[in-house]
Amino acid sequence: MGLKMNTIEIVLFMLVASNLSNAQVFDVTKNGANAKVDITQALLKTWKQACATKSRSQVLIPKGTFKVSQATFQGPCKAPIEFNLQGTLLAPAVDGNFKGGDSWISFEHIDSLTVTGGGTFNGQGKTAWGKTCTSSQYCGNLPINVRFNFLTNSVVQYVTSLDSKQFHVNVLGCKNITFQHFKVSAPGDSLNTDGIHIGRSTDVKVLDSNIQTGDDCISIGEGSQQVTINKVNCGPGHGISIGSLGMYANEEAVKGVFVKSCTLKNTQNGVRIKTWPDSQPGTASDMHFEDIQLDNVGNPIVIDQEYCPWNKCNAKVSSRVKLSNISFKNIRGSSSTAVAVKLVCSKGYPCQNVQLSDINLSYKGSEGAITSECKNVKPILSGKENPRACITSA
Ligand SMILES: *[C@@H]1O[C@H](CO)[C@@H](O)[C@H](O)[C@H]1NC(C)=O
Ligand SMILES: *[C@@H]1O[C@H](CO)[C@@H](O)[C@H](O)[C@H]1NC(C)=O
Ligand SMILES: *[C@@H]1O[C@H](CO)[C@@H](O)[C@H](O)[C@H]1NC(C)=O
């Protein structure tokens, strides 16, 4: 490891660099964009020109702050395309003229898209949080900052999503998409501002990224398969979550989630899997959490099949989502709640093959000794276990 490159890496780096410099550049300011106007039309025109180019192309947004009301960048494109955001795109503020909507910036049906450049998608969420809906509601009428819909073989790197009005990023129907050196930034008390939500996608990677926000750091929904989360720092926020699952009929299975070498600091939860009670049928399997460092984290390890945040579910009927093949390995650090391990599985479908190994958590608060809560699960324990999970009520 380290920063020294060997000869092969240098050659590869030069190849990549020369490829990028070979791209035909389409600068949005050549199409009339400037800091004084809404650049939506100029940006869409620039995208169309680049997208229609038969060789590698680049949409360039130079340094500066540019207003965009709402934009969808459609593929398919004729060749690999780069969205080079060096400046800041600024979303509309919520005021008397704000119309709502479900997305601000979207990329759709594109193969080989690269989003990069060091710039920022500024959602101006500060003008929205707590104003159009309260903390007990889901802010459905507020736009998601950046959507990636039906992309293949794409990379999002060295850009920031700042103060989204709702989720920062939503990944839907993608295959082979990687987020790396990606940054999310919003205050801990911002509402519904999940960092990256992934659904119905295969081969999604989130690597070497920093996510500070008010809701889930990364949330993984139905139909997510082969998701790798590596070296992500979360906090503040609500932690890394799979679910909630089972709300809708015909949800696709979750299969293969690998969360490794992540840190969570001052988050409401650590790593968790949640499903609704009285749910639709579903399955989630092969979910693994390993080498996770926690610092002052509430509910560090959670499986909750009675998840019901607004008390609007029939908690008497158990969840019909089957959970299996789950491991929590080398999870260490400090918990801010006494119940450091909560494994509450469905009565109708007890969790199968849950493994806990090398759990080393500490708790120094006033709720008593560190402990676990378990229902309908018989975890396989190995290595150090603090707390020793499920010894009384397996
Ligand atoms: C995934 O996408 C990246 C970026 O385009 C590409 O380099 C890589 O080969 C793709 N992987 C697969 C398995 O297609
Ligand atoms: C769980 O793992 C076992 C053993 O590796 C495997 O046979 C089984 O198919 C897995 N279950 C699911 C639902 O993937
Ligand atoms: C558990 O963590 C504490 C620090 O919180 C450390 O002193 C101790 O050595 C760890 N135990 C093991 C077995 O890793």
Q: Tens of pLDDT along 161-171?
A: 999 999 999 99
Q: What is the pLDDT of residues 326-339, one digit of tens each?
A: 999 999 999 999 99
Q: What is the pLDDT of residue 134?
A: 57
For position 315, what pLDDT does the model report?
A: 82
* Closest alpha carbon to 240 in 181, 198, 177: 198
299 CB-side CA count, 13 A? 19
Question: Which one of 6-10, 17-21, 114-118 scores highest in mean pLDDT?
Answer: 114-118
Q: Is the C-beta atom of 384 inside 6 A of ligand 3?
A: yes
Rounded mean pLDDT, 226-253: 97
Please say if the pLDDT value at position 217 is more than 70.
yes
Give the mean model confidence (pLDDT) for residues 134-155: 83
d(CA 46, CA 343): 51
Atom number, ligand 3, closest to the C-alpha of residue 384? 13
Q: What is the predicted pLDDT for the residue at 132?
A: 66
The answer to pTM > 0.85 is yes
What are the pLDDT digits (tens) for 294-318? 999 999 999 999 999 877 788 889 9
Q: Residue 394: which pLDDT band, with cuts at 50, 70 and 90?
A: very low
- Is the alpha carbon torsion for 185, 188, 192, 196 positive or negative? positive
Separation of CA 284 and ligand 2 centre (Å): 11
pLDDT of residue 2: 46
362 lines ligand 3 (CB under 6 A): yes
Q: Which atom of ligand 2 is nearest to the CA of 352?
A: 1
**What is the structure's pLDDT at 206?**
98
Ligand 1 contact, 160 CB (< 6 A): no
**Mean pLDDT over residues 105-125, rounded?**
98
For residue 138, what pLDDT band results from cuts at 50, 70 and 90? low
CB of residue 180 inside a 6 A radius of ligand 3? no
Q: What is the separation, in whole angstroms, between the first and last Cα of the chain?
A: 43
Nearest by Cα to 246 from 333, 163, 344, 320: 320
CA–CA gap between residue 196 and residue 213 (Å, rounded)? 10
User: According to the 3-state scheme, what is the secondary structure of 169-220?
Assistant: EEEECCEEEEEECCEEECCCCCCCCCCEEEECCEEEEEEEEEEECCCCCEEE
Of 292, 295, 296, 332, the one to substitute when testing ligand 3's pocket (max ligand atoms within 8 A of C-beta) is 332
Residue to mutate (ligand 2; options 353, 354, 355; most atoms within 8 A of CB)? 353
Whether residue 1 is predicted with pLDDT greater than 80 in this model: the reply is no
Residue 102 has pLDDT above 90, yes or no: yes
In angstroms, rounded to a whole number, what is the distance separating the alpha carbons of residues 19 and 82? 11
pLDDT of residue 12: 58
Q: 178 CB less than 6 Å from ligand 2?
A: no
User: Ligand 2 centre from 325 Cα, in Å?
Assistant: 6
Mutate which of 16, 153, 226 for ligand 1? The one with the most ligand atoms within 8 Å of its CB, which is 153
Which H or E element spans position 42? helix 40-51
- Min mean pLDDT across 45-59, 119-133, 262-276 is at 119-133
Active site residue 238: yes
* High-pLDDT (> 70) share of the chain, %: 92
- Averaged pLDDT score across all residues of the chain: 93
Read off the amino acid at residue 193.
T
Amino acid symbol at 70: Q
Is the previous residue joined to 236 through a cis bond, with omega within 30 degrees of 0? yes
Cis check for the bond before 318: say yes or no (omega within 30 of 0): no
| Model pLDDT, residue 371 | 96
- Token pair 């397996």 is at which residue? 394
SS3 call for 3: coil
Q: Which residues contact 195 (CB under 8 A, 6 or more apart)?
A: 161, 168, 169, 184, 211, 213, 215, 216, 217, 218, 234, 237
Q: Name all domains of the chain by residue range, CATH numbers in brackets.
A: 59-64+83-93+100-129+141-386 (2.160.20.10)
User: Residue 255's closest CA among 285, 275, 228, 282?
Assistant: 285
Q: Is the CB of 325 under 6 A from ligand 2?
A: yes
Q: How many Å apart are CA 103 and CA 101, to the nearest integer? A: 6
How confident is residue 159, by pLDDT bands cut at 50, 70 and 90? very high
How many other C-beta atoms are found inside a 10 Å radius of the C-beta of residue 220?
27
The pLDDT assigned to 22 comes to: 85
Model confidence band, residue 96 (pLDDT cutoffs 50, 70, 90):
confident
Q: What is the pLDDT of residues 14-59, one digit of tens each?
A: 555 545 568 999 999 999 999 999 999 999 999 999 999 999 999 9
